[in-house]
Structure 1
Amino acid sequence: MLNVLGDIKGDMKKGFTLAEVLITLGVIGIIAAMTFPMMITKYQKQVTVERLKKFYSVMQNAIRLSEADNGEMADWDFPKDTYDRNMKTFFDRYYRPYLKDSQECSKSLCFKHEKYDIYYLNGKPAGGIYSDNYIVKLNDGMYVYFLPNTPAAYIWMFVDINGHQKPNTIGRDIFVFDIYSYPARAQRKNYHMKFWGEYDKDDGKLTDSNDYGCNKSASRYSGFKCGELILRSGWKIPKNYPW
């Protein structure tokens, strides 16, 4: 007589041993440790591009609306001196009416209870950008800095796309634009703000330059050209980006 139950028991596969379970969990842990950082980095890059693109669109729209009321940007009354305190007057006239709920910032208003240090992409402090600028906080929490540089006939404009949140680093969450203040430096019909580095026709200069380059070894203004690199890459952070 056949022992059916015995045959069945004999054919059944045994469960995992404790050692096998631990090995499996270890493999899963290794895979997770390898993939999670990549997933987080990918997400951070996507958010960075989305916020930067949003800011670019909002500011370009504000300029178009302002030009409809105040004439072409080439004819606007730009600040006359570097570090001009009249930057507030310029912003209040040409930008504030077209940026809903924007708020003037200062150490006492926006940064009273926050430690806010800014860095170049090479890790060196960039405190002057914070201390010398006229600062505005947009309704979505972004910080915008305006710094007139009249000898070179432009206004530097910096945006921190996530406000006071870290890393507060140029090329990571802070990006640089310029606005030229006379037609000799920009075509009158295309007089809107530009990413810093727009003038470089060679893409290699965006990444390789020792001045303003989007790399971590640039000795001067490291990271300034990173926004232009993202724009030229089709609003994407390219593989060679120094994240």
Structure 2
Amino acid sequence: MKKAFTLAEILITLGIIGVVAAMTLPVITQKIEKVVLKNQIKKSYSYLSQIQQKVMFEWGDALLISEGFGYKNFNDAMLGSMKIIKKCERDALAKGCVPRYIGLNLTQCSGFNETNVYYNKTVYVLADGEIIMPYNADWRSLWLIDVNGLKGPNKAGYDLFDVAFDSSNKRLSFRGKGCLNQGNPPPVTGGLDDYKDIEKW
């Protein structure tokens, strides 16, 4: 006759399974979340690149440096090619256009400090939920992009990036650390600092 497991043995086994699950599930969840974020980042990069190329083609390669066509016009042309479903001209946080972010820069790139992002900037929400905040600099067009909208983690280098378009480079500058995440130590660690390193991230 086979000996049955005792209640104590069953409880010990279940306890061991529980401990192993508690140790491995967070790691698996983190890896899945990172894969999802990487795909969203790649999608955003590709979408913005296509819109930029379309605008450059329609207006000509010299549109950024031609007389009378500045970066505000470039931003307007870019936005005109996007599927915008919501626009918040001020008070974007209160109106639900942006979440609270970790890693906004308080000292450099003042156009993207907390006060401007939450209360002063014009914010656009696209059909896929992506959030876009253009900033008209004199020397290039600089945007703040949240690749997955109001969903978390809402951190620089994870779903929040600064994107620069300029006349000297058709390749986007897409960074999680530039105008964002400054400080010693920076407020966010482990994020993607530059799109060119996405496959290693």
**Are residue 49 (structure 1) and residue 38 (structure 2) matched?**
yes
Q: Tell me how far apart the structure 1 counterparts of residues 23 and 36 of structure 2 sit (CA, whole Å).
A: 21
What are the Cα deviations for residues 37-87 of structure 1, in whole angstroms up to 9, with x where unaligned? 0111001101111001000000110111112211125346224xxxxxxx4
In structure 2, the partner of 1:195 is 174
Matches within 5 A, 1:33-182: 33-72=22-61, 73-75=63-65, 77-79=69-71, 87=72, 90-92=74-76, 94-107=77-90, 111-112=94-95, 116-120=99-103, 126-128=113-115, 130=117, 131-150=119-138, 153-180=139-166, 182=167
8 Å contact kept, 2:122–2:133: yes
- The aligned amino acid for 2:114 is G
In structure 2, stretches of 5+ residues that fail to align are 106-111
Percent identity of paired positions between Structure 1 and Structure 2: 26
Shift, 1:107, TM fit: 4.8
Q: Tell me how far apart the structure 2 counterparts of residues 114 and 62 of structure 1 sit (CA, whole Å).
A: 22
TM-score (norm 1): 0.65
Q: Tell me how far apart the structure 2 counterparts of residues 115 and 158 of structure 1 sit (CA, whole Å).
A: 11
8 Å contact kept, 1:212–1:218: no
8 Å contact kept, 1:63–1:192: no
Q: Tell me how far apart the structure 2 counterparts of residues 74 and 114 of structure 1 sit (CA, whole Å).
A: 29
8 Å contact kept, 2:157–2:193: yes
Q: Secondary structure at the match of 2:101?
A: coil
Q: Tell me how far apart the structure 2 counterparts of residues 44 and 118 of structure 1 sit (CA, whole Å).
A: 18
Q: Tell me how far apart the structure 1 counterparts of residues 4 and 104 of structure 2 sit (CA, whole Å).
A: 53
8 Å contact kept, 2:153–2:159: yes
- Deviation beyond 6 Å, 4+ runs, structure 1: 213-216
Q: Secondary structure at the match of 2:149?
A: coil
Shift, 1:194, TM fit: 1.3
In structure 1, stretches of 5+ residues that fail to align are 1-11, 80-86, 198-205, 238-243
- The aligned amino acid for 2:42 is K
Shift, 1:215, TM fit: 8.7
8 Å contact kept, 1:214–1:226: no
Q: Secondary structure at the match of 1:74?
A: coil
What are the Cα deviations for residues 163-221 of structure 1, in whole angstroms up to 9, with x where unaligned? 122332212221122123x5xxx3xxx33431248xxxxxxxx7xx9x967897138xx
Identify if the C-alpha distance between structure 1 residues 121 and 172 changes in structure 2 by more than 3 Å, giving closer, same or farther: farther
CA RMSD of aligned residues (A): 3.4
Identify if the C-alpha distance between structure 1 residues 57 and 215 changes in structure 2 by more than 3 Å, giving closer, same or farther: farther
- More deviation, 66-75/28-37: 66-75
Q: Tell me how far apart the structure 2 counterparts of residues 26 and 156 of structure 1 sit (CA, whole Å).
A: 53
Identify if the C-alpha distance between structure 1 residues 109 and 216 changes in structure 2 by more than 3 Å, giving closer, same or farther: closer
Shift, 1:109, TM fit: 7.3
